[in-house]
Amino acid sequence: MTARRVVPHVAMRPLWRCRNCGAEWPCQPARLGLLVEYRDDRTALLVYLAALMTEADHQLGQLHPGRRPELTDRFLTWARARG
């Protein structure tokens, strides 16, 4: 029996698709992992995601000149604290 290589749900740059499932990153498994990792510091998670969103905006803008994707919901809205 051969062991399967586990592929993490991380961003494949500059496409910003998940290396594991191919969905737009952050995909649902990546979001869950980030929420668990940053469970005690939601502000740090939002700062981290904002930095990644800026990088994604720049890279996706280079791949698709003249067409800026809306990234706020994809990167930030889901991570805001509810309540």
- pTM for this predicted structure: 0.88
Nearest to 43 by CA among 2, 76, 10, 6: 76
Q: Where are the domains of the chain?
A: 11-79
Task: Give the tens place of pLDDT for each residue, 21-64.
Answer: 999 999 999 999 999 999 999 999 999 999 999 999 999 999 98
What's the CA gap between 73 and 60, in Å, rounded? 16
pLDDT exceeds 70 at position 12: yes
